[in-house]
Structure 1
Amino acid sequence: MPSMISLKRHAVKRIVIKVGSAVLTENNRLAKERMANLVEFLSMLHERYEIILVSSGAVAAGYTKIRLDKSDIANKQALAAIGQPLLMRSYQKKFEKHGINVAQVLLSADDFDSRRRTAHAKNAIEVLLQKKVIPIINENDVTATEELVFGDNDQLSAHVAYYFDADMLVILTDIDGLYDKDPNKYEDAKLLKIVETIPQELLETECNPTYSFATGGIVTKLKAAQFLLERGKKMFLGSGFDLSDAKSFLLENVHRGGTLFIPCDNT
């Protein structure tokens, strides 16, 4: 049975939405239909909440133009440089149909290691949100170094949610939530709809991305959730292929599917 979750009761005003490369790309090109569905969903959310989008896909978009070995960091940075404007142009065209302006914001890990740089970034975000502009954030792959890199946008989105005062992070990906066991191996695997604590052994599991352009997997999403839980923030994990669970949760306040990570004292 679906459970009722009142977002108003939890005073949700600002939401960070993170979408991964597996959702945004298909057959080595941008998945235009899925991106259009995502933008339509975000446009509906935009009527109720302040929305910050953290979007992967720049490297994959660049790969549609030039085939480079993305395991080489210089090649990956070049692909990101090629793909980022392609990604933004696609978003811009789709959001324009809904009368929404967007802005590109590129961040790296060291932007959150400096109070001054974090404050500057936050100030810019605040201005954009006040003007009803949706910031689209990605990691600055071109200038990020191995020592100062998130490595995946799950971690970046968790930092964005915390440091930019969002009430919730929503990760839309190629899985529809956290299960008690691997649903690909066990038919009796059950979806965990509410999670308050994450076992340490899960956080220490080796990352297992299943998509060629992904850099994380379920483990990086759990680490993002853990980062937020420790700081009193919520996270929702759901499918980016079928947005019905996310729509139900965020637009109807009904928790039909997906996993809600919520601090113990916030239930």
Structure 2
Amino acid sequence: MNHYKRVVVKVGSSVLTEGGEIAKERMLNLVSFLMKIRERYEVIFVTSGAVAAGYTALKLDKREHIGKKVLAAVGQPILMSSYKKKFEIYDADIAQILLTEDDFDSRKRTEIFRRIINTSLQEDIIPVVNENDISSTPDQLFGDNDQLAARVAHHTNSDLLIILSDIDGYYDSNPSENPDAQILKEVNSIPEDQLTASHTPNNEFASGGIVTKLIAADFLIGKEREMFLCSGFDLTTAYEYLMDGIHTKGTLFRAKK
């Protein structure tokens, strides 16, 4: 079996929402998955979806800076209350931790959130991390939770980041243009031109796309940590990789051994 002790699981907006609503069944599957893997690992959960959740209650233009902030402010409690209900089915407690880029820039602030996460885990509470869209200025935004999750993984000394996405792996060419494109099973370095390509999210509330995932993977490879990118619609891939050591689909990013 693998050598991981602590893992960060990150889920994107495209997985959590469907047709302008929170995808409740998918969220329940996700919570059930997190509860199962907690039997073996310490689990830190990074979630997107506050802006998308806000949009279910209020139709503002999320492309406007203030519009997006208001959507996040409205959506944050909607999102957390949805999670809370699902975790309560398993008698599990959650802690909400909102971070901005500034929390990673100061040693003191990084130490504070690290201790909050460590203490939550010691007390058997699941830390649920999201970007604080409300208090951050445009130049402080990660803009996507892939970067946030990669930094959380590094600063909490986690062994692995799992990204559950609408992208089921990193392909050798664009699968929407090439029907013969193959998923790369393991990647040890990422070409510079792939890291600077333009972002193309597949869902209107997603801010990532493959590029932000590659930037996150590149960051973690440089820190000698691992990242696994797979589908968030079918959690079998992530489950088999973590619990059975089976790697059929998905891409593992790690430094060359």
Bin the TM-score by the shorter chain. over 0.9
CA distance in structure 2 between the aligned counterparts of 1:89 and 1:31, rounded to whole angstroms:
14
1:202 match: secondary structure: helix
Residue of structure 2 equivalent to 1:190 = 182
Per-residue deviation, 1:168: 0.3
1:166 match: secondary structure: coil
Gaps of at least 5 residues in structure 2 are none
CA distance in structure 1 between the aligned counterparts of 2:175 and 2:43, rounded to whole angstroms:
31
Residue of structure 2 equivalent to 1:213 = 205
Residue of structure 2 equivalent to 1:166 = 158
Per-residue deviation, 1:146: 1.1
CA distance in structure 2 between the aligned counterparts of 1:243 and 1:264, rounded to whole angstroms:
27
Task: Show CA shifts across 1:130-171 (max 9, x none).
Answer: 011110000000001012111110000000000111110000
Question: Does residue 230 of structure 1 match 2:219?
Answer: no
CA distance in structure 2 between the aligned counterparts of 1:187 and 1:65, rounded to whole angstroms:
39
CA distance in structure 1 between the aligned counterparts of 2:99 and 2:29, rounded to whole angstroms:
26
Residue identity matched to 2:28: A
Residue of structure 1 equivalent to 2:74 = 82
CA distance in structure 1 between the aligned counterparts of 2:168 and 2:191, rounded to whole angstroms:
20
Give the length in aligned residue pairs: 257
CA distance in structure 1 between the aligned counterparts of 2:82 and 2:206, rounded to whole angstroms:
20
CA distance in structure 2 between the aligned counterparts of 1:61 and 1:39, rounded to whole angstroms:
17
Residue of structure 2 equivalent to 1:3 = none
CA distance in structure 2 between the aligned counterparts of 1:146 and 1:187, rounded to whole angstroms:
38
Equivalent residue for 2:46, pick from 26, 43, 54: 54
Gaps of at least 5 residues in structure 1 are 1-5
Residue of structure 2 equivalent to 1:38 = 30
Equivalent residue for 2:11, pick from 19, 41, 57: 19
Equivalent residue for 2:130, pick from 138, 155, 158: 138
TM-score by length of 1: 0.95
1:176 match: secondary structure: coil
Per-residue deviation, 1:100: 1.2
Residue identity matched to 1:92: K
Per-residue deviation, 1:236: 0.1
TM-score by length of 2: 0.99
Per-residue deviation, 1:96: 1.0
After TM superposition, where is structure 1 displaced by more than 3 Å over at least 4 residues in a row? none
Equivalent residue for 1:261, pick from 247, 253, 256: 253
CA distance in structure 2 between the aligned counterparts of 1:47 and 1:257, rounded to whole angstroms:
23
Residue identity matched to 2:98: L
Question: Does residue 118 of structure 1 match 2:114?
Answer: no
Residue identity matched to 1:107: L
CA distance in structure 2 between the aligned counterparts of 1:119 and 1:23, rounded to whole angstroms:
31
Q: Percent identity?
A: 52
Equivalent residue for 1:28, pick from 4, 20, 33: 20
2:171 match: secondary structure: coil
Per-residue deviation, 1:196: 0.6
Per-residue deviation, 1:192: 0.3
CA distance in structure 2 between the aligned counterparts of 1:147 and 1:67, rounded to whole angstroms:
25
Per-residue deviation, 1:184: 1.1
Residue identity matched to 1:247: Y
* RMSD, aligned CA: 0.7
